[in-house]
Amino acid sequence: MSVKTKWICVTAVGIAMFVAFSLCLQVPVFENYYLCLGYVVTAVYCYSFGAVSGTLVSCLGVVLYCLLISGLRGMPGWTLGNLVIGILLGLTFRVTKPMKQVPLKAAINAAAIVAATTLGILAMKSMTECLLYAQPFALRAAKNVYAFVADIVVLLVSLPICMTLDKLAGKMFPDLVK
């Protein structure tokens, strides 16, 4: 099997896992918001397979998840927000992955998670919904604070999982792991 075919198959499995984790593992945290455990899959794919694969997993995973649970409601904002998060995390992990100083690596990755989620959820998702629903930006951003906090928590908790699974992914797919 060619490297390109393997990459497509591994990315497709990631998209399916994003949807499955998001649907099956719903952990309630705020009044009507659940932790999106699909972000664990996003983080692992960004870390092990790079920005393109991680971003596709995140964006297409959200599209399929939204179509399954609520149709088009919420999809454009979540998808564009996840586009930003996937790209920024993938690029950051690419730089920090080879670093030997674990505390510095963790601090940079944590800062990148906060920055990417701020840009993706509070800025991009809120701006998209502001334009779609003709509501003030401040109102949309305030409504997205729950998602912002919950997504940061899931992504931060995902960091040790990323490092652990990266070793396994490297053994299983040495030609794909970046």
- pTM score of the predicted model: 0.92
Please name the fold of domain 3-172.
Arp2/3 complex 21 kDa subunit ARPC3 (1.10.1760)
Using 70 as the pLDDT threshold, list the residues of the chain that sit under it.
29-32
| Residue 4, burial from CB neighbour count under 10 angstroms (0-12, 13-18, 19+) | exposed
Per-residue burial over 160-176, b = 16 or more CB atoms within 10 Å of its CB, e = otherwise: eebbebbeebeeebeeb
Give pLDDT, residue 31.
Answer: 66
SS3 of residue 111 by DSSP: helix
SS3 of residue 30 by DSSP: strand
Domain boundaries defined on the chain: 3-172
- Token readout for 120 is 């993706």
Closest CA to 112 of 79, 134, 130, 85: 85
| Residue 72, burial from CB neighbour count under 10 angstroms (0-12, 13-18, 19+) | exposed
Beta strands 27-30 and 33-35: pairing type? Answer: antiparallel
- Token readout for 156 is 């931060």
Give pLDDT, residue 32.
Answer: 64
CA gyration radius, the chain: 16
